[in-house]
Structure 1
């Protein structure tokens, strides 16, 4: 009996030390699932099928809304490692609202598949328009890439319903003058300035070059002084004067790292063939990013921070009604990326911790690019051409 009693006590002790205080049994950790991956590669090109696109974001999304991404190099080539299985390959430039492509792919374990070139052309989603200029023809570069833009007149800019149909508007150098306004008074353009402000505040994007600075900060055919009458961007944010002379700027720096990586070069020469081009005198560095410069003189700037509290809320372009949403995907390493996805996928991304709107800039604002240079009448613009092509695809 005594031995049985000791045996019962021993068993009781063993049971006690193998139980948790909250009454739950200790269960060993399960071996984590190993994700099997393969590679998908290809080459991103413009719609013309020949111009390689550098800096394009290439990604897939798994069943748990985890994003696997990479970027195309300056020759358009990409190689992405992602989980095996059927998925959709997304290709985007900018934030993906204006140019993007989706193509189904099947990724195979430990294999590399190559996506056909026909499936990796960057599609135009945006409706684009331009105002014809005297010294600049950005529409020529748009056409050469295989994309389309509609010509607007200066008078069209005075109709908000007209410009709100578009996602991007290109304002060419020399597109604005007394002959178009019918008067020399800049105040007569109040409707144009108000409409452009409303357009950008509601997500539309603008390209403005050289003398077209008058659309942004005021002036008549161009901007001759700081604090010129008119414009819709506050004078303390940007000042330009048409005091540049005909010359070539050598060894200009591409100071924006993503831009330089997409281009494959970080220096270039820029020829200014006009005798009075707009030089940037000062700018607010919290509002503008400098993309190209010469000895700290900005030559190309960009912002996504524009706001107008007085602007009415109006739907702009295709992006307002195409069931797509732009979000900031939060990665585990903090390298967050802006992507545009189908609205139906938002709840899963939200649960993952993503947020609506781009990762930087104002969530409602479109972008504004201002360049002091352009594809001028002489036609020989050298390395400025791929920079302007980048602008077109990243507005």
Structure 2
């Protein structure tokens, strides 16, 4: 009897080990679960040298069960998944903008290694940036091996133009850089209305430092709370350009997923010029704080913006037309945002999954804002790794 009991315990332990990274098998004991094998590899950006941490790696079996894991801060992963022919999905963010799909054959009780040449994250999104005076996010994007198109401030006044893109990068100083001979930005309602419609319809925005004026108003920058202009309500975010040049030491990466993907949870951030935008107050139900110094937010994110009065327009690349972003419900009560083929949606819906991301508004894009940026001297240290994460997770 004692031997039988030990056998049962050992069998249970083996099941738990085999299901590491899986999340729905043990909830469906009536299913005929095939034997498992493993897939391992390392996720890279398109340049083939930058490891990508925090990427979601998953497979889906014939019964639409999902087996998943995440890459560590070195981009490495090991996924336990049923034997047979399947597709290995690699995604960052919600999978709309960067994703790769690899056919693999999993063998029982064996581990196969996917070649690094196959695990590079492909760019699905179309990305654009507005040139700035103190910031060059485009250099980080191209350094990762991706393509981004320069547009002008005047292009922001054309909704049809910006709706061609999935992501807009608004560099610090881009308003003062492009404003010669144009109306005062604080009164430029076309830009604000278009950015509002862009995000409402699924486009994502990254802005840094003085580019807060696109969000909450101001001219070349935001000098005070309740500045005229912007498309985000003043009660949601207040900034003032009162920061001093110098280094913030021991800043905290307060978001667990971000810290895990980066492999560190503290860093020093150098502000090479003064009058940078300090966040005075913010609505914590609207913004997530990702990086902070004590109680001062330095990097925030929101997926909650929507304007019910904005025009409904298609935004982004046609490559997403046959894909849908869903919230997959796991057996342990957690949820995962992933992008899958539209053809597979009905089966996932039958499993209890829902349309749209697991957090934020289902149709809206993300807004990332950092008080720091890729400043002219280029000596940004670990902040550069954070900006790489932002690019891949918009």
Per the normalisation by structure 2, the TM-score is 0.91
Contact 1:40–1:81 (8 Å) recurs in 2:
yes
The C-alpha deviation readout for 1:146-168, integer Å capped at 9, x for no partner, is 00100000000000000000000
The C-alpha deviation readout for 1:69-111, integer Å capped at 9, x for no partner, is 0000000000000011000000000000000000000010000
Match of 1:138 in 2: 137
Deviation at 1:181, TM superposition (A): 5.8
Assess, with a 3 A threshold, how the Cα gap between structure 1 residues 351 and 151 changes in structure 2: closer, same or farther. Answer: same
Distance in 2 between the 1:350 and 1:92 partners?
A: 20
Match of 2:383 in 1: 384
SS of match in other structure, 2:324: strand
Contact 1:58–1:72 (8 Å) recurs in 2:
yes
Match of 2:293 in 1: 294
SS of match in other structure, 2:291: strand
Assess, with a 3 A threshold, how the Cα gap between structure 1 residues 313 and 32 changes in structure 2: closer, same or farther. Answer: closer
Which stretch of structure 1 is more off in the superposition, 185-194 or 228-237? Answer: 185-194
Match of 1:310 in 2: 309
Match of 2:110 in 1: 111
The structure having more radius of gyration, on CA atoms, is: 1
The C-alpha deviation readout for 1:245-267, integer Å capped at 9, x for no partner, is 00100000000000000000000
Distance in 2 between the 1:184 and 1:158 partners?
A: 12
Deviation at 1:332, TM superposition (A): 1.3
Assess, with a 3 A threshold, how the Cα gap between structure 1 residues 339 and 224 changes in structure 2: closer, same or farther. Answer: same
Match of 2:147 in 1: 148
Contact 2:328–2:353 (8 Å) recurs in 1:
yes
Number of matched residues? 366
Match of 2:281 in 1: 282
Distance in 1 between the 2:30 and 2:265 partners?
A: 48
Per the normalisation by structure 1, the TM-score is 0.91
Unaligned runs of 5+ in 1: 1-29
Deviation at 1:179, TM superposition (A): 5.6
Match of 2:230 in 1: 231
Match of 1:25 in 2: none
SS of match in other structure, 1:118: coil
Deviation at 1:31, TM superposition (A): 8.8
Deviation at 1:32, TM superposition (A): 7.0
SS of match in other structure, 1:119: coil
Match of 1:49 in 2: 48
Match of 2:94 in 1: 95
Assess, with a 3 A threshold, how the Cα gap between structure 1 residues 139 and 315 changes in structure 2: closer, same or farther. Answer: same
